[in-house]
Structure 1
Amino acid sequence: MKKTMLIIVLSVFALGCKPKQTVANTKLDNKTERLMKGDWLVSSVKYVGSDVFKVTSFNIADAKCFEESMWTLVSNNNTGEVVLNKANCATFESKITWYVNKDGNFVMKFLSEGIKAKHTTSGYVLKVANQTETSFQLIDKAAVGSNTAEIVFQFDKIGN
């Protein structure tokens, strides 16, 4: 009996001392998502402060290769597609799943053929900025030496 009580007390103490974990906000910002619905062209990719370094974005290609890329974002089911087709860059096409959380972050996963989103374990988080009905920016961070730099993807709406 004493042994059982000791186990219960130790279990309660161990559970009570569990450190708090930081979790990304997963509540959706539906208003921001609805403004992103449609077809988009990445009109420019800029490095804040300098253009003297190269960054591979999303483990796919040089960030500058995302200029002229086409993005289709469907807000009612948070799916889409990304197509890279810039001259002198590798071509790339992928389905994506995405959402915007209440913290203003665009959370995205590239999907492999035949693999469901819930089985895709890695993704990307970018900050949404300067959003209007016809444009927005996604801002990524990259390590450059001992500093952090921002890569700004400028999206412009195609058609309606």
Structure 2
Amino acid sequence: MKKILFICMIAIMVFACKSASSTTASTEAPTLSTKLDKSTQVALKGNWVLTNVSYPGSDYIKVTSFDLADSKCFIGSTWNFISNNNKGTMTLTAPSCTAFTSPIVWSINNQGLLVLKIVNPGTKSKNVKEGYLLKVAGVTDNSFELIDNINVGGQTKDVTYQFQRAN
């Protein structure tokens, strides 16, 4: 029995998990008719540090966040959200990971989902047609969470990204 369990765990580790929301999110730029949650957008305005990434099975399963890097590479990353133009930046600086900086375009829709587009250098945000939908939770003056969904063995699991306001 232990051997079967071990083989199953190895199989799960071999097939790295990918965000379920990454390919299903249409992130057309907000238009005047799009209803946005402005009060939450204003609450997120500023500089943030991603302090923790958690999900069930994190000791055994590797999750690639935002189709960029291992989720653990995002710990310590800095994020800037500008609420009046829905732009910003994200910067990954984890020592054992490849450094990465990118502009982002974001908004929070009236369902409480953060609509996020990562914009490659030299690309206009209007030309980025895919992005990510993440649930916004626990918003305070100094912290908030983004929750993504992943598919693990046919089951949907939550990946929680915890943010703290940068000083």
The two structures share one fold, judged by TM-score above 0.5? yes
1:155 to 150, 154, 163: 163
Q: C-alpha displacement at 1:88, in angstroms?
A: 0.8
Partner Cα separation in structure 2 for residue 62 and residue 112 of structure 1: 18
Letter in 2 for 1:89: C
Partner of residue 34, structure 1: 42
Partner of residue 9, structure 2: none
Partner Cα separation in structure 2 for residue 143 and residue 72 of structure 1: 28
Partner of residue 109, structure 1: 117
Partner of residue 84, structure 1: 92
Partner Cα separation in structure 1 for residue 123 and residue 95 of structure 2: 29
Say which is worse superposed, 109-118 or 85-94, in terms of deviation: 109-118
Alignment of 1:9-20 (within 5 A): none
Partner of residue 50, structure 1: 57
1:146 to 147, 150, 154: 154
Q: C-alpha displacement at 1:116, in angstroms?
A: 1.4
Q: Deviations over 1:105-150 (max 9, x none)?
A: 0001011222211111111110000110110000010111111111
Letter in 2 for 1:50: G
Partner Cα separation in structure 2 for residue 134 and residue 144 of structure 1: 32
Aligned residues: 136
Q: Deviations over 1:52-83 (max 9, x none)?
A: 21110111001111100000100000000000
Q: C-alpha displacement at 1:50, in angstroms?
A: 2.7
- Scaled by the length of structure 2, the TM-score of the pair is 0.78
Unmatched tracts of structure 2, length 5 or more = 1-25
Larger radius of gyration, structure 1 or 2?
1
Partner of residue 124, structure 1: 132
Q: C-alpha displacement at 1:27, in angstroms?
A: 1.3
- Scaled by the length of structure 1, the TM-score of the pair is 0.81
Partner Cα separation in structure 1 for residue 118 and residue 141 of structure 2: 25
Unmatched tracts of structure 1, length 5 or more = 1-22
Runs of 4+ in 1 over 2 A off after TM superposition: 23-26
Partner of residue 99, structure 1: 107
Residue aligned with 1:113, SS: coil
Residue aligned with 2:110, SS: coil
Q: C-alpha displacement at 1:93, in angstroms?
A: 0.6
Partner Cα separation in structure 2 for residue 144 and residue 37 of structure 1: 33
Partner Cα separation in structure 1 for residue 72 and residue 159 of structure 2: 10
Partner Cα separation in structure 2 for residue 114 and residue 85 of structure 1: 21
